Amino acid sequence: MKKRLIQFGIVIMLLLIGVVFFIKYFPQIWGEAVYPLEYKNEILSSATEFGLERNFITAVIFTESRFNKDAVSRVGARGLMQLMPTTARGVANSLGMSDFTQEKLNDPAINIRLGSAYLKQQYDKYSGNYDAILAHYNGGPSAAGILMSLGQGALNRETNGFVSRVKNIWQAYDNIYGKNWEGGSGAFGIKEDSFTDSLNIKNLFNFIFK
């Protein structure tokens, strides 16, 4: 009996080691099921226009809306990057978009462009301090001021969590897709199937956790 328990413990330990090894060294396989990458061309276009890291923009989108272009918060923030209409209008004016309307925030290309432009404004304002950029994005200039004077721990729970989540998700996207992934189409406009697609990992996750 004792020998059998030892053997069982060894098997469990080896399985755990295997799971940890798989998660750590093969994020390209499991990662797409957990961290999808949608609207690649729109993200890449805005990253190029405003000189921002593409996975930084992606991490903000994932944190704010999980790529739901029709998301609306309880306070009225809209779209993929959860922009307040008044903020979006100000950014649109700075970009010379004279035809801006609130309804256009449900257009992924427009929402991502305006959200990225807003991030760029904060990037310039805070000299590339990503903690301050994210604090401002979530909680406004007062939150950024608190962070810069007192540290992230002084932020309210929501903004503190937002800053940490975006940075962690940003790192995950870097690990899964690389820093310099390209648009959604391969040569001659044909979508390239990834190893994850061939394994149909998303359906497997849905089957396991439904």
Active-site residue set: 64
d(CA 123, CA 121): 5
DSSP lists the bridge partners of residue 72 as 78
| Dist CA 52 CA 54 (whole Å) | 6
Burial of 159 (0-12, 13-18, 19+ CB in 10 A): buried
Angle in degrees, CA 109, 110, 116, rounded to 5: 90
Residues 6+ apart with CB under 8 A from 2: none
